[in-house]
Copies of this chain bind each other. A is one copy, B any other.
Amino acid sequence: MKKVTLGLLILFIGCGQHKTNTSVINLPSKHVIMDGLNHPWSISFLSNTEALVSEKDGNLLRINLDTKEKYIIKGFPSDLTDSIRAVHFGDNSGIFEVLIDQDEKEKPWVYLSYAAKKAGLGTTTKVIRARLENDSLYDHETLLVAEPFTKEYFHYGGGMTFGPDGKLYITIGERLFWEKDEPEIPIAQDVSDKRGKIYRINPDGTIPLDNPDFGVDAVPGLYALGIRAAQGITVQPETGKIWFSEHGTLQGDELNILKAGANYGWPNVTSGKLRSSDYTPPKIDGATFTPPTWFWHHTVAPTGLTFYTGDEFPGWKNNLLVPGLSRGSLWRFHIEVETIKSAEELFLDDRVRIRKVRQGPKGRLFILTDEDNGKLIQIKNQ
C-alpha cells in the first residue's frame, strides 16, 4: 500500500524533471558593506564607488564602498538639532534625505532635509542645498522651512525625490502624536499650515508656475495635502508617476500615488484607527479624499521605497520595493500601471529595522538599517 501510494506521487512529480531548467532560485541574501553607521537614513551615489550617507543621529558622511573608508562632511548648518534620540524616546529628529545633483562634477549640489532647531521654539523640517567640495558644504541655500517650530519630536517627513520634470518633491509630516492635539482645522487639512503636506519646488527653491491652485491662503509650493507621516517618495520609471509611503497610527500604513492637488485625507479618513479614540475630525467642506493605492492590515512602518530596474533580479524588474521599520522586512510589489498585483514580504525573520532601500550604480541594490550600529547592506541574488 505504502509503496504504491508514494510511487504514484513520484511518477507525477518526475514527469517534469527532464526539463533543462531545474535550478532552484534562492532567496536574496544580505551582504554587509559597512557597519558602524549611526541610524543611517538615506544614501545617494557620487560615483560607482562613492556615496553620501545621512545618519539620522549622526553626520553626513562620504563613504567608499570598496575601501570602507568614511569621512564626515563639514559645513553642516548649525541649526541641525542635536541628536536627542536618547533623551526623547521615539524621537524622529535628525538628518533625513540626501540627494545629489552633479551638474558640476567636482562640486555637486547636495540636497538635504533635516530637523532644524530654533532656540526657545523647538524644531521643524528644513530643506537646504549646498555645494560639496573637498568634503565641505558651502553656498548654502534654504529651500523650505516647514514652520512652525514646535516642541513635538515626531513625524518630520523629510522624504525627497526629483521628479521626471526636474522638480524637487518633498514630504512634510504633520508633527503631532495625538489627534486630540489638532487645531480646529486639522493641520494636514489646513492649506495655510506648512505641515502635513507634499511640496513641489524648483531645485533653487522657487515655486513652479504650474503647481495646483489651493487658493490665496495656501502655503507656497503646496502640491498635495492630508499627509500624516510620509518618509518614502520615489519615481516609478515606467510611468513617471511618483509613489510615496505613509505611516499610519494603529494600522493605516499606506502606499499612495502622488497626484497634483490631491487630498490624502488625514485625519478625516484613514485605513487605520485614530490614536485618540475620542477625537472626531471636523467635516471639511468640499473635500474629496484620495484613497491609498495599498494599505496593510498590520503595522509595517513603510519608509524609503524605490523601484527596482536592475538586472540581478529579473523577476523584480520594475517592482516597487518598500522597507519596513516595524517588522524589519522588505516588501516587493509587482505593479501593472497603478494596480498592485502581488506583494512579497522578504527577510521575514530578520527583525531589523530597515530605513531605506535604494538602487545604486550598476543596478546594485542597497538597504540601510536603523540601528545604533547601523549598516549599509547590499542585497544579492545568491
Binding site for B on A (CB under 8 A): 1-6, 8-9, 11-13, 15-17, 19, 21-25, 27, 45, 48, 100-103, 162, 164-166, 202-204, 237, 297-298, 309-312, 314-315, 317-318, 332, 334, 339-349, 359-363
Contact = CB atoms under 8 A, between A and B. Distances in A.
Given A4-B102, A297-B298, A314 B24 contact: yes
A73 B39 CA distance: 65
Given A2-B165, A297-B298, 17 more contacts: A1-B103, A1-B202, A1-B204, A4-B102, A5-B101, A5-B162, A8-B100, A8-B101, A9-B162, A13-B237, A13-B310, A15-B48, A16-B311, A19-B311, A22-B314, A332-B344, A341-B347
Copies in the complex: 2
Nearest to A104: B4
22 contacts: A1-B101, A1-B203, A4-B103, A12-B45, A12-B359, A12-B361, A13-B309, A13-B359, A15-B48, A15-B361, A19-B311, A21-B311, A22-B311, A23-B314, A24-B314, A25-B317, A27-B342, A297-B298, A340-B348, A341-B347, A341-B348, A342-B346
Given A23-B314, A27-B334, A342-B27, A8 B102 contact: yes
B237 A101 contact: no
Contacts of A345: 342-344
Contacts of A165: 2
A344 B344 contact: yes
A363 B15 contact: yes
Contacts of A347: 341-342
A343 to B, nearest CB: 5
A4 B101 contact: yes
Nearest to A167: B2
A359 B6 CA distance: 15
A166 B2 contact: yes
A315 to B, nearest CB: 4
A361 B16 CA distance: 8
A312 B16 contact: yes
A339 B334 contact: no
Contact of A12 (B9, B17, B360): B360
A11 B9 CA distance: 51
A257 to B, nearest CB: 15
A67 to B, nearest CB: 20
Contact of A16 (B102, B346, B362): B362
A150 B349 CA distance: 42
B342 A310 contact: no
A9 B13 CA distance: 46
